[in-house]
Amino acid sequence: MPDVIDIAFTLNRRPVRLRARSDLRLLDLLRGDLRLTGAKEGCGKGECGACTVIVDGQAVDSCLMMAFQVDGSAVETIEGLAGDGLHPLQDAFIETGGVQCGICIPGMIMAGKALLDRDPQADADAIRGGLAGNLCRCTGYTKIFAAVARAAGRPAPHPRATATTPAAAPGFYRPRSLEEALEILAQRAGEARPVAGGTDVLVKAKDGQQSLGALFDLTGVPELKGIEERGGHLWIGAGATHAEMMASPLVAHHLPSLPQACAVIGGPQIRNRGTLGGNLANASPAADTVPPLYAADAVVELVSVSSRRNVPVGDFFTGPRQSVLVPDELIVGVRVPIRAGVRGCFLRLGQRQAQAISKVSVAVGMTFRDGRPDWVRVALGAVAPTVVRAWETEKALIAGGYEGLRRAREAVKSEVEPIDDLRSTRAYRREMAAVLLERAVRSVAEA
């Protein structure tokens, strides 16, 4: 039986303290225990955005958060939006006729609020990006985008919510240090499983592949956070979110292909929660953040109670959904050698532009001397049992020129091992690997 634990947080600017089951999702807590039914269960996998709420200023999918993960946080739902009258966003949706059924619209309004809180003068491109995690299958988005644009610049009825309630959850669910987290793994090896963003673990739970009863939260562990330069390396904590990596000037400068990869992962709600460590631990051959790490000679830092080891990213994965990570270890972070003048590009092909798993992905890293390549790395995802380095392709590119690019296109086709599946065919993936490679190389050369 799951435990019943104390949780305390600020909900719609009011303190809340209650007892909840440890296997409860935030969405279930809001709808079932608190009777706040504005957030809806659409897909239950973070694809539709109908369950969007705001946690500590960020739009998140409440179906992919455990209830105890908001302990000590500030949570906003659509029920708390209005002041003396409707919120400007709610007025704007009515004025533009953007209101549809009650399933999708509350989540869209909350995603719009999170965007305008951060960027009050958001333009059309920012609005489209801010609502990219909210899918409505009823109709188009023209009036919805117009509503958010209409609300831009209007004063909000109350200031942005902040957390004012001290955390109450016990430490074995929300450890506050790396030492505490490792102790949990050591004492409950094979039983307890860490969760951070939840964008993979809770999806598996929805499909019946994972229990929610033995999870503990890593988001309060400071040793897993941060992005900084350390002794000739760029260090990225395992707890760094995709949104944080996209916003980091250090990542953009030293590993430019990584924020490009992060930008195509899910929608804003997923990027606000999903972490680099989670993407690595998931060990999917289609993981978008992994090819840039291969193309940068990254090293994965692993730690347990009794040991610490550094594993080159190319040795970390052993097969689809398999890695060298053992049950009592955590990924602490990733180290990337700093190279002067490095350029990079990440490109992928999916079923659609957003909210899709890659059919093929390519990451390229290069440096140049006197206009010619003097260091080249190429990695591809979704074309083999793991992400792969394209060694022969790199040799062709280092020669430079059009002939080198032509030979690289042919080489990459022989270095991938794609399969036929529901998303694509072997032949198509092989051809597109060459096409994306050429586009990526040209982008890097012209940067």
Q: Averaged over 352-367, what is the pLDDT?
A: 84
Q: How far apart are CA 389 and CA 295, in angstroms?
A: 8
| Predicted local confidence at residue 188, as pLDDT | 84
DSSP secondary structure code for residue 30 in this structure? I
pLDDT in tens, 292-303: 999 999 999 999
pTM: 0.94
Task: List pLDDT tens digits, range 58-77.
Answer: 999 999 999 999 999 999 99
Q: How confident is the model at residue 332 (pLDDT cuts 50, 70, 90)?
A: very high
Average pLDDT value for the chain? 93
Please say whether the beta carbons of 54 and 89 come within 8 A. Answer: no
Position 91 scores a pLDDT of 94
SS3 state at 298: coil
Q: Count of CB atoms within 10 A of residue 404's CB?
A: 18
Cα 244 versus chain centre, distance: 9
**What confidence score (pLDDT) does residue 354 get?**
62
pLDDT at site 352: 61
Give 393-422 pLDDT, tens digit per residue: 999 999 989 999 999 999 999 999 987 776
Q: Is the pLDDT of residue 36 over 90?
A: yes
Residue 157 pLDDT exceeds 90 = no
Q: Are 296 and 314 in contact (CB under 8 A)?
A: no
| The pLDDT of residue 264 | 93
Model confidence band, residue 425 (pLDDT cutoffs 50, 70, 90) = confident
As a whole number of angstroms, the distance between CA 271 and CA 293 comes to 18
Which one, of 331, 293, 283, 333, lies nearest residue 313 by Cα?
A: 293
User: Which residue has tokens 């909000």?
Assistant: 156
Q: How many whole angstroms separate alpha carbon 432 and alpha carbon 349?
A: 8
SS3 102: coil
Q: Which of 8-12, 153-157, 422-426 has the highest mean pLDDT?
A: 8-12
